[in-house]
Amino acid sequence: MIVARTIPVWLVHLSLAVGGFAIGTTEFAAMSLLPHFTADLGIDAPTGGHVISAYALGVVIGAPLLAVLGARLSRRWLLILLMAMFGLANGLGALAPSYDMLLVTRFLSGLPHGAYFGIAALVAAGLVPPNMRAQAVGRMMLGLTVATIIGVPAANWLGQALGWRWGFGVVAILAGLTVAMIAAFAPRDTAARTASPLRELSALARPQVWLTLGIGAIGFGGLFAVYTYLASTLLAVTHVSPAALPPVLAVFGLGMTTGSIVVPRFAGRGLMPVAAALLVWSAVWLALFPLLAANIWTLSLCIFAIGCGGALAILLQTRLMDVAGEAQALAAALNHSAFNTANALGPWLGGLAIAAGWGWTSTGYVGCALALGGLVILGVSVALDRRGRMIDARA
């Protein structure tokens, strides 16, 4: 139940997006701050990489766990608690005196990530008509995509100018701002009387939930296969100077932001056809990546187009609302566990191709295969939908 207030919908969406901006900043900035905190803490780069992996592990574990444990809380209070936990963990990370403590705080920082985005998507979508849900989720997710353009470079600059700890400290401040904005503007809802951890777990018994998560875990892996090794490709294949890396990475962020704004506008006409078209789009541009990588301008165009494919996250988030039944919170949170699975699968397969001697640009072909794999899973999902409707019609 939601208690009506005269708060503009855009202001609620903005509040949720600020939290996404904070999460996106800490997730990606940690990679760019790697040389700084490893030098300060006296560890080598491979060891420092475990700090990044710890965050991803926290996302995968925390998304379903916190969604289930928070089933009896109102969505407003759950969002406040999740962002407070996120801010505290980042604040402790900024003060971490050792590598071990930083590792623990990064794991704790990742725990609220998936649950926050999942619940925030439900709140954002609940404020608009059904045919505008994807656009509402897209507006909420803009915080994450804008973070790749503004938040990450800003955190990196702070890390270089004032020390790496400020890169995490500013995220804690943003988390505090998000808590205040959600407390002030989010709908004052109450948890449903039938809400319970067991009801949330019922999502796991739905084949369409698993298929939707599979589309994200496989189909989204192509984007990560290329993005992870983009800097190395630019240096070794495109032969640009290190100074050119940030602008090209920003182009990728611009692509994600553009996709988040444009693609959801078409989702009201048919969510799954748009998702299928986006996977085809991604597969084509990923296949073109090896052919366009030698020139900085053609590569930038390709990277922008691949970034647009990131809008798949919004479409699948909305799809889960349709197929999860009453277990909305867990299904929505699991979407981000699926994407972090893609974040592990894509770079791993891309790394295998590079190690096999196929070259840096072979990640494009790996990514194309993953996007097509996601398209196959989507086809299975659509076929099951049609079969179910035919059975219902006969009954």
228 and 101, same structural domain?
A: no
pLDDT digits (tens, 9 = 90+) for 369-384: 999 999 999 999 999 9
From CA 391, how far away is CA 383, in angstroms rounded?
12
For residues 92-98, average pLDDT: 92
The count of domains in the chain is: 2
In this structure, are 92 and 122 located in the same domain? Answer: yes
Torsion of CA 381, 384, 388, 391, to 10 degrees: 170
Final residue in a domain of this structure, among 172, 193, 214: 193
d(CA 64, CA 67): 5
266-278 pLDDT, tens per residue?
A: 887 788 999 999 9
**Do 92 and 159 fall into the same domain?**
yes
Answer yes or no: pTM beyond 0.95.
no
- The residues with which 378 forms a beta bridge, in sequence order, are none
DSSP calls for 338-376: HHHHHHHHHHHHHHHHIIIII-TTHHHHHHHHHHHHHHH
Q: Which of 261, 222, 249, 48 is nearest to 134 (CA)?
A: 261
Residue 109 sits in the same domain as residue 28: yes
Q: Compute the distance between CA of residue 359 and CA of residue 84 in angstroms, rounded to an integer.
A: 44
| Nearest residue to 74 (alpha-carbon basis) of 184, 189, 178, 200 | 189
- For residue 112, pLDDT over 50 is answered with yes
Range of the domain at 174: 1-193
- Please count the other Cβ atoms lying within 10 Å of the Cβ belonging to residue 39: 13
Residue in 93, 105, 98, 96 with CA at minimum distance from that of residue 42: 98
Give me the chain's average pLDDT, please: 86
Last residue of a domain, one of 153, 177, 193: 193
- Tell which residue, 138, 167, 161, has the closest CA to residue 28: 167
The number of residues in the chain equals 395
pLDDT of 1 = 41
Q: What's the pLDDT tens digit per position in 38-86?
A: 788 888 766 777 787 788 888 888 888 888 888 788 889 999 999 999 9
| Shared-domain flag, residues 270 and 181 | no
DSSP string for residues in 85-104: HHHHHHHHHHT--SHHHHHH
